[in-house]
């Protein structure tokens, strides 16, 4: 195991100790995130840790605490955008140095009230005086972020689809909480609504259109890292079902053992799908100019990864509950799958699957290699 994954495994042990408390009190997993900072994991992609290890790290953390894993994944998604575009964006070089030194945590402000959940459209705009005000229905770990990556219309006269991305420092940003975070699952991500206002210099605007960033980096990296988180949750639920079945011995019954074996098939198929998508990404993202990532067929593939794995994760957790029976339904048993099931149910909602299916159905009419 690499040094990076060894240190993440230690963070996962710590995250696991606090996971129930984080979930019960819907509180930020501070201990685990501090430990990630201590392990210098927040700057992994800046410091040269391979992407596949960061992805694997998401899965390792998710086995112990979904919220810690999702905070880690969301942060790495923002960092990957910065790292990918550092050549075209001189300002970000100094920032990346600070990020590595100070282990700064970045949140994304992409959702916006009034856009109907469509990340590809914005209402708030970059004002000519270098300010913005954006009303976001959810900002991931909004209160705990050091800095914010926000999508906005390029100018106040721009169309909703003409978007740019701005990175503002915490010292330049005011995040006013406008709602609470009391959810079914992923309770520790603490992602309520915020009104974000910021004042910044124009060189903090990423000089690449958001549409391009979305297709080439944001969507593939989000869907790959989320998929690893969801696979970790499903893997843990399966493991509890396996242990419960083993403990029952002969009394488990043929129906339950068959169900366990079916679940295993589902888990293995999901792992294979994620591994294939990761391998293809590593290959395509390292090609000069990255032509394959610009195609609609790549968008289709990254979307279907998200819809499939999000559904598989919840299905495997549900199946694990059926196998574990009452021991899985209880919150105070070692075979409890309640929290895992609740956490897994967020997967189909973050970037709603029905929106992706609608977009994919349109893409299927025009993409040739499906």
Partner 1 sequence: MNDDMEETIRTVLTDNGRLPVAVETIGVADDLYQVGMSSHASISVMLGLEDAFDVEFPDRMLTREVFASIASIKAAVGELLAS
Taking CA atoms, 302 is separated from 50, 227, 344, in Å, by 20, 10, 19
Contact 64, 15 (CB under 8 A): yes
CB 88, CB 208: distance < 8 Å: yes
Residue 224 CB partners (closer than 8 Å, separation 6+) = 55, 274, 277, 278, 281, 302, 305
- Interface residue with partner 1 among 162, 239, 266, 322 (CB under 8 A) is 162
Determine if 366 is a binding residue for partner 1 (CB under 8 A). Answer: yes
Question: Is 359 among the residues that bind partner 1 (CB under 8 A)?
Answer: yes
CA distance 12 to 7: 9
Say how many CA atoms lie within 13 Å of 87 toward its Cβ: 2
CA-CA-CA-CA torsion sign (119, 121, 127, 132): negative
The token pair at 20 is 């129930």
Residue 98 CB, shortest distance to partner 1, in Å, is 32
Find the binder of partner 1 among 21, 159, 276, 354 (CB under 8 A).
159
Each residue 229-258 as x (binds partner 1 by CB under 8 A) or -, in order, gives: ------------------------------
- Choose which of 2, 201, 212, 331 interacts with partner 1 (CB under 8 A): 212
> Which parts of 285-324 interact with partner 1 (CB under 8 A)?
291, 294-297
Binding piece for partner 1, criterion CB under 8 A, among 24-32, 44-52, 192-200, 205-213 = 205-213
> What is the smallest separation between the CB atom of 88 and partner 1, expressed in angstroms?
15
Judged by CB under 8 A, the residue of 131, 215, 257, 311 near partner 1 is: 215
The helix (H) or strand (E) run that includes residue 334 is none
Q: Does 158 bind partner 1 (CB under 8 A)?
A: yes
- Chain length of the chain: 370
The reply on whether position 115 binds partner 1 by CB under 8 A is no
**Residue 157 within binding range of partner 1, rule CB under 8 A:** no
Residues near partner 1 (CB under 8 A) = 120-121, 154, 158-162, 209, 211-212, 215, 291, 294-297, 359, 362-363, 365-369
């Amino acid at each position: 195991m690499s040094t990076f994954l060894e240190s993440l495994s230690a963070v996962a042990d710590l995250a696991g100790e606090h996971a129930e408390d984080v979930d019960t009190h819907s509180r930020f997993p501070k201990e685990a995130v501090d430990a990630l900072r201590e392990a210098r994991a927040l700057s992994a992609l800046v410091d040269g840790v391979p992407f596949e290890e960061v992805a694997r790290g998401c899965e390792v953390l998710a086995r112990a605490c979904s919220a810690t894993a999702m905070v880690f994944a969301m942060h790495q998604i923002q960092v990957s955008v910065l790292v990918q575009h550092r050549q075209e964006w001189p300002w970000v070089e100094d920032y990346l140095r600070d990020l590595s030194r100070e282990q700064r945590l970045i949140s994304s402000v992409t959702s916006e009230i009034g856009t109907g959940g469509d990340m590809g459209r914005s209402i708030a705009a970059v004002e000519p005086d270098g300010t913005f005000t954006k009303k976001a229905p959810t900002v991931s770990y909004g209160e705990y972020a050091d800095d914010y990556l926000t999508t906005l219309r390029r100018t106040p006269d721009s169309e909703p689809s003409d978007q740019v991305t701005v990175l503002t420092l915490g010292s330049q940003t005011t995040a006013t909480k406008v709602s609470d975070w009391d959810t079914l699952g992923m309770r520790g991500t603490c992602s309520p609504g915020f009104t974000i206002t910021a004042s910044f210099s124009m060189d903090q605007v990423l000089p690449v259109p958001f549409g391009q960033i979305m297709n080439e980096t944001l969507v593939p990296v989000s869907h790959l890292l989320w998929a690893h988180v969801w696979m970790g949750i499903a893997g843990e639920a399966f493991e509890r079902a396996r242990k419960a079945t083993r403990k029952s011995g002969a009394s488990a019954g043929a129906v339950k053992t068959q169900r366990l074996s079916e679940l295993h098939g589902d888990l293995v198929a999901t792992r294979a799908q994620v591994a294939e998508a990761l391998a293809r990404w590593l290959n395509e993202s390292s090609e000069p100019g990255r032509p394959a990532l610009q195609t609609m067929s790549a968008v289709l593939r990254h979307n279907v990864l998200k819809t499939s794995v999000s559904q598989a994760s919840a299905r495997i957790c549900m199946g694990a509950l059926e196998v574990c029976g009452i021991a899985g339904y209880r919150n105070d048993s070692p075979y409890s799958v309640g929290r895992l099931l609740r956490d897994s149910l967020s997967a189909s909602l973050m970037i709603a699957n029905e929106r992706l299916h609608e977009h994919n159905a349109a893409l299927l009419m025009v993409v040739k290699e499906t």
